[in-house]
Homo-oligomer: A and B are copies of this chain.
Amino acid sequence: MSKLEEFKEFQAKISRYSQAIALMHWDLETNAPNNAFEYRSKALGELMEALFRMSVSDQMGEFLDYFSKKENYDELSEIDQSMVRVNKKDFDKFKKLPPQLVRKLAETTSKAGYFWKKAREEDNFALFEPYLQEVASLEKEQAEALGYEKNRYDALLDLFEPGMKTETVKGTINYLKEHLLLFLKELLEKGKEPRYDFFEGDFDVNKQKELSLEALKFMKFDFDSGRMDMSAHPFTTKIGPKDVRITTRYNNKDLRYSLFSTMHEGGHALYELHIPEEFFETPLDEGASMAVHESQSRFWENIIGRGPHFWVFFSKKLKDIFPSFEGISNDELYKGVNIVKKDFIRTEADEVTYNFHIMLRFEIEEALINDRIKVDELPTVWNDKMKEYLGIVPTNDAVGVLQDVHWSNGQFGYFPSYMLGNLYSAQLFSKLKKDLKDYPSQIEKGDSTEVLNWMVENVHNYGKMYEPEELLKKVTGETLNPKYFVDYIKEKFSAIYGL
């Protein structure tokens, strides 16, 4: 075996451990009997520790030293060079984390997750507070260990969105506020809300599943390399190469919920499923970042699924499965899936209000990590910001500061990905429209081939080779530009609301 083959075999070994771990997690969320949790957690901890040890091992260090040397690096293919770069960045990062901190974080977030659930159920923030306190303090420690130039939050942000800076997020938020706060006000005050009563009622879950499968078929989801199940919270997992699974959730009172959850997760899945075989079992075999991933899910969910052309095609499928929609026009269906509402819950927010939910979370966690606010102030700060951005105040903490799982998990720095994903999707879409002038008529015929191929060629094909900014520039010719999103929103919703 050559040194490169040996290195790849070592990476494959690491990948195989993550495949087992991914399956163990997926199974817990979908199939595992209730009592399995305790020992499954121990088994997961065991394999995760083994995985972490290999990732930061001396053996890994030696491989990376060798292949980072100019004379060896220059010999590598472009893909292998990326692979070394990505691997080295992770190695250097995780090497900085003291093992005790890693263990402490795992233990604390496990406890915090339990108390978060309880606190949310009982609408009692005080129950969660001491654990969140602990998590936040460990997150600060982690940020210090990882290091940063300007802002402690940068260290955490980089874990989810490589290369992204707090300053850029702040600038982007200001731009969005400036252009969308007023637009939202105008829309709700002067616009005409479309009908959507036909989407509410009593919808058989098996038929909803059929409809979801039709949407996945349209997206060319390959059921030989994946599957769809049900879980409390929809998610996508790559179990391994050629095995990407999504879950969805059914709300029998509102048909839209499962359909768009499915298209969202389907978008994540398409990304993972089209990463080239050459990348399998290497660190490049995943999406470029959380936000680029989100750009794919939001593209299929919102830009395509909540777009006008899709409903020209899909309304027939809908009516075949649910005859109650007979007599509703394509245009009415299209508008009915695009209702804008000021509401408390992020995951159910429309395209216009969604980013405001993210902004407040980002502003709170950035201030918390930089010690400008304290954990016990969170409920008040949260409600104040909801009032400021959306003009409403949560009726209780369960639908306010306690609604998301992320902080209990220690995922400080994750939220901006959701907003950035929306912006990336609009920026990519603007380029796609220029490249595929004929795309509307193809989608209207139910043919997603060219649209999907464009995404594969421009995004999926690169896996994790490039950092998000590089990738965006490569595809669209420029770095993040929130104007595309603002233009997209204004044009789409002005028309729907008749402004």
Q: Are A241 and B23 in contact (CB under 8 A)?
A: no
B residues in contact with A20, CB < 8 Å: 20, 23-24, 43, 47
A2 at interface by CB-CB < 8 Å: no
B residues in contact with A243, CB < 8 Å: 32-33, 35-36, 39-40
List 8 tightest A-B contacts by C-beta distance, closest first. Answer: A36-B243, A35-B242, A16-B43, A16-B46, A35-B225, A39-B241, A34-B224, A20-B20
B residues in contact with A12, CB < 8 Å: 42, 46
A226 at interface by CB-CB < 8 Å: yes
- With both chains docked as a complex, state the minimum distance between the C-beta of A392 and any C-beta of chain B, in angstroms: 41
Q: Are B225 and A36 in contact (CB under 8 A)?
A: yes
- With both chains docked as a complex, state the minimum distance between the C-beta of A304 and any C-beta of chain B, in angstroms: 24
B residues in contact with A376, CB < 8 Å: none
> Contact string, A233-245, partner B, CB cutoff 8 A, digits 1/0?
0000001111100
Please give 19 more A-B residue pairs, beta carbons under 8 A apart, in addition to A23-B24, A40-B243. A12-B42, A16-B42, A16-B43, A16-B47, A20-B47, A23-B27, A33-B223, A33-B226, A33-B243, A34-B224, A35-B222, A35-B243, A36-B240, A36-B243, A39-B241, A39-B243, A39-B280, A39-B281, A42-B281
B residues in contact with A252, CB < 8 Å: none
B residues in contact with A19, CB < 8 Å: 39-40, 43
The complex is assembled from copies of this chain, and their number is 2
Distance A225 CA – B36 CA, assembled complex (angstroms): 6
* Given A23-B23, A27-B23, A27-B27, A43:B240 Cβ within 8 A: yes
Taking each of A20, A38, A47, which has the highest tally of chain B beta carbons within 10 Å of its own beta carbon?
Answer: A20
Distance A11 CA – B239 CA, assembled complex (angstroms): 27
> Contact string, A202-242, partner B, CB cutoff 8 A, digits 1/0?
00000000000000000000111111000000000001111
Distance A33 CA – B246 CA, assembled complex (angstroms): 12
9 A-B pairs with C-beta separation under 8 A: A12-B46, A13-B46, A16-B43, A16-B47, A17-B46, A35-B224, A36-B240, A40-B240, A50-B50
> Contact string, A19-30, partner B, CB cutoff 8 A, digits 1/0?
110011001000
- With both chains docked as a complex, state the minimum distance between the C-beta of A419 and any C-beta of chain B, in angstroms: 33
Distance A39 CA – B13 CA, assembled complex (angstroms): 11
